[in-house]
Structure 1
Amino acid sequence: MSRLDQVTVLGSGVLGGQIAWHSAFKGKTVTVYDIAPDAIEHCRAAHDQYAAIYLSDVGADAADIAATQERLTYSTDLAAAVVQADLVIEAVPEIPEVKTAVYTEMAELLPADTLVATNSSTLLPRDFASATGRPEKFCALHFSNLIWAMNFAEIMAHPGTSTGTLTEVTEFAVEIGMLPIPVRKEQNGYVVNTWLVPFLNAAQTLVTNGVATPEDVDRTFLYTGARFGPLGMMDMVGMKTVYDVLSHWGRESGDAQMSANADYVKKNFLDHGLLGVQTGKGYYDYPDPAYQRPGFLDVPDISVVPDIVSLISSQ
């Protein structure tokens, strides 16, 4: 058993909120920190939604939900949020400068024995190890969206991570019901995002370049029996995270198409306050997205063939 019972989650966005809720559900005492009061309020509302999901899909009862809520607190005061933490899980935006600033500010506030883990989607823990002030107590612990169903956690070290830290963090993952995925070498994107980011980027390219509609892109994937396609997946990940990842790696790799995809997401979603599931609208409307409605994969009536043909360019 790990000693990691007091947990602080830095960042109350989509995945930070899920990590906090699920850890509390599994018996941990959790503080959610965010710099923005309105973000905290969004997280509280999301936790009410998770309560309903856990009742219907996870097998929780009313007593479980009440106990989970009792173990959760929320704060916009970083010092107060981390003062008793055994483990801090960082889930702030996927922007290197933002993460570094948070670690630097936090370094002087942490108890000596506190471990720190990054939930970064694509960045390496070595990029932030020195900023934490405790590199031997720092590693990556990356969760997947829909944490209650996609219950795996990727664990990755940097060259200075101690074996003790990896042991305790892996024990923590098991204690909250995660399948640990050991990342055997440092890898931007870990395991899941190494294939997921190119997959989502390719889907977005089809939309950005006008090759296909979001619905038709997703239809071609839903035939595999998946619950949602790549554009629906972007809604779940959250458009801000999608933009941050595509924008950063478009610049880093000199990939003009990836940068164009980031611009498309910004202009069509972020600039209009549309974050995906989090705000009830992205590529689809929630809680009733088109891809979950009857008929989304139905063969059309032959009478619409002229309409379909009119969409096929001969250029």
Structure 2
Amino acid sequence: MQNLTVLGTGVLGSQIIFQAAYMGKHVEAYDISDEIIAKLPDRWEYLKAAYKRDIPDAADEKLDAAVSRIHGTADMAEALKDADIVIEAVPERLDIKQSTWKKVSDLAPAKSIFCTNSSTLLPSAMAPFTDRPEKFLSFHFANEIWKFNTGEIMSQPQTDRDVFDQVVEFAKEMGMVPIKIHKEQPGYVLNSLLVPFLNAASDLWVRGVASFEDIDKTWKIATGAPAGPFEIYDTVGMMTPYNLSKDSSDPVQKEFAEKIKTDFIDNGRMGKGSGHGFYDYE
């Protein structure tokens, strides 16, 4: 599978696009407006610098070749016309994902395999909104995928085993370490471990137990971890924790979502990718 279409060019979507192109795939980058697409070159420059920092053999020539294999478009039909595999990275709301897959099913060729990168939602909740549930599954990435290169591949009850195996091979070709998940699990392996940890940190902060700086400092000093929970929030970007928390039944998590919106999102502090989140970045 050489032709990848990625739906959504946000923090993780743009990383999936660039990593696949870096590993030699031809990538169609789709988003909902020409204005968003026009900003992608800035994102590629940001990622090129990150690759040069973190990957020893990431020479300018190889990075420029990756960019040349990316085509951005706000035309979904154009983005899907030759897709061997489609990875969806749209906002973490079930209704948006379901409606997106319904549109994709009308436009994608019969050969296309469909993957959702949803971090918490189950693929079985989206598969009925496609015309090919046997070719639908989850393919989930950790943030900064060029460095933290797990690819969690999770089937749903109707996923064909051969399709599952094809996505495992595609993950390897993208430079990922495939993590095979044979039974649906909200949050896969990574987020089943990570989300309770982040929720505990946000709970401490919202209730005024400690500052976010001291929460991060405690975790890093006591465990030797390279990043604290609020540094992880900055890496993930503010929209994901906001979307995950705003409809929570837990009043503390709902308050966390409101603080994320008023203190950060409304002030353009979208996380590390924007230069500002809980912390300021050069």
* TM, length-normalised to structure 2: 0.96
Residue in structure 2 matched with residue 313 of structure 1 by the alignment: none
Do residues 111 (structure 1) and 109 (structure 2) align? yes
Seen in structure 2, the aligned counterparts of structure 1 residues 41 and 236 have a Cα distance that, compared at 3 Å, is farther
Q: Tell me, in whole angstroms, the C-alpha distance in 2 between the residues paired with 1:277 and 1:41.
A: 20
Contact 2:54 2:147 in 1 (8 A): no
Contact 1:13 1:39 in 2 (8 A): no
Contact 1:157 1:166 in 2 (8 A): yes
Do residues 50 (structure 1) and 47 (structure 2) align? yes
Q: Tell me, in whole angstroms, the C-alpha distance in 2 between the residues paired with 1:271 and 1:173.
A: 36
Residue in structure 2 matched with residue 63 of structure 1 by the alignment: 61
Residue in structure 1 matched with residue 272 of structure 2 by the alignment: 277
Per-residue deviation, residues 283-310 of structure 1 (Å, max 9, x unmatched): 00013xxxxxxxxxxxxxxxxxxxxxxx
Partner letter of residue 14 of structure 1?
Answer: V
Contact 1:201 1:246 in 2 (8 A): no
TM-superposed CA distance for 1:242, in Å, is 1.1
1:158 pairs with 156, 159, 180, which one?
156
Q: Which entry has the higher C-alpha Rg, 1 or 2?
A: 1
Q: Tell me, in whole angstroms, the C-alpha distance in 2 between the residues paired with 1:67 and 1:57.
A: 18
Contact 1:85 1:110 in 2 (8 A): yes
2:120 pairs with 116, 119, 122, which one?
122
TM-superposed CA distance for 1:54, in Å, is 1.6
Residue in structure 2 matched with residue 33 of structure 1 by the alignment: 30
Deviates more, 1:118-127 or 1:199-208: 199-208
TM-superposed CA distance for 1:226, in Å, is 2.3
Residue in structure 1 matched with residue 135 of structure 2 by the alignment: 137
Contact 1:141 1:156 in 2 (8 A): yes
Q: Percent identity?
A: 43
Q: Tell me, in whole angstroms, the C-alpha distance in 2 between the residues paired with 1:194 and 1:55.
A: 31
Q: Tell me, in whole angstroms, the C-alpha distance in 2 between the residues paired with 1:177 and 1:225.
A: 27
Q: How many residues align?
A: 280
Contact 1:232 1:283 in 2 (8 A): yes
1:219 pairs with 217, 220, 239, which one?
217
Q: Tell me, in whole angstroms, the C-alpha distance in 1 between the residues paired with 2:178 and 2:245.
A: 27
TM-superposed CA distance for 1:204, in Å, is 1.1
Partner letter of residue 261 of structure 1?
Answer: F
2:261 pairs with 244, 252, 266, which one?
266
Residue in structure 1 matched with residue 228 of structure 2 by the alignment: 229
Q: Tell me, in whole angstroms, the C-alpha distance in 2 between the residues paired with 1:165 and 1:154.
A: 15
Q: Tell me, in whole angstroms, the C-alpha distance in 2 between the residues paired with 1:29 and 1:119.
A: 19
Seen in structure 2, the aligned counterparts of structure 1 residues 204 and 37 have a Cα distance that, compared at 3 Å, is farther
Partner letter of residue 30 of structure 1?
Answer: V
Residue in structure 2 matched with residue 182 of structure 1 by the alignment: 180
TM-superposed CA distance for 1:193, in Å, is 0.7
Per-residue deviation, residues 181-239 of structure 1 (Å, max 9, x unmatched): 11132111111111211111111111111111111010011112222210011011010
User: What SS does the corresponding residue of 2:86 show, helix, strand or coil?
Assistant: strand
TM-superposed CA distance for 1:270, in Å, is 1.5
TM-superposed CA distance for 1:261, in Å, is 1.6
Q: Tell me, in whole angstroms, the C-alpha distance in 2 between the residues paired with 1:126 and 1:275.
A: 30
Q: Tell me, in whole angstroms, the C-alpha distance in 1 between the residues paired with 2:90 and 2:224.
A: 33
Per-residue deviation, residues 78-98 of structure 1 (Å, max 9, x unmatched): 000011100000000001111
TM-superposed CA distance for 1:10, in Å, is 0.3
Where do 1:56-95 residues align within 5 Å?
56-58=53-55, 59-95=57-93
Partner letter of residue 146 of structure 2?
Answer: W
Residue in structure 2 matched with residue 300 of structure 1 by the alignment: none
Residue in structure 1 matched with residue 252 of structure 2 by the alignment: 257
Do residues 196 (structure 1) and 198 (structure 2) align? no
Query: Which structure 1 segments of 5+ residues have no match?
Result: 288-315
* TM, length-normalised to structure 1: 0.86
Q: Tell me, in whole angstroms, the C-alpha distance in 2 between the residues paired with 1:39 and 1:60.
A: 26
User: What SS does the corresponding residue of 1:108 show, helix, strand or coil?
Assistant: helix
Per-residue deviation, residues 113-164 of structure 1 (Å, max 9, x unmatched): 1001000000000010011211011100000001011000101111100011
Partner letter of residue 113 of structure 1?
Answer: K
Contact 1:13 1:43 in 2 (8 A): no
TM-superposed CA distance for 1:105, in Å, is 1.1
Partner letter of residue 96 of structure 1?
Answer: L
Query: Which structure 2 segments of 5+ residues have no match?
Result: none
User: What SS does the corresponding residue of 2:151 show, helix, strand or coil?
Assistant: strand
Residue in structure 1 matched with residue 207 of structure 2 by the alignment: 209
Residue in structure 1 matched with residue 10 of structure 2 by the alignment: 13
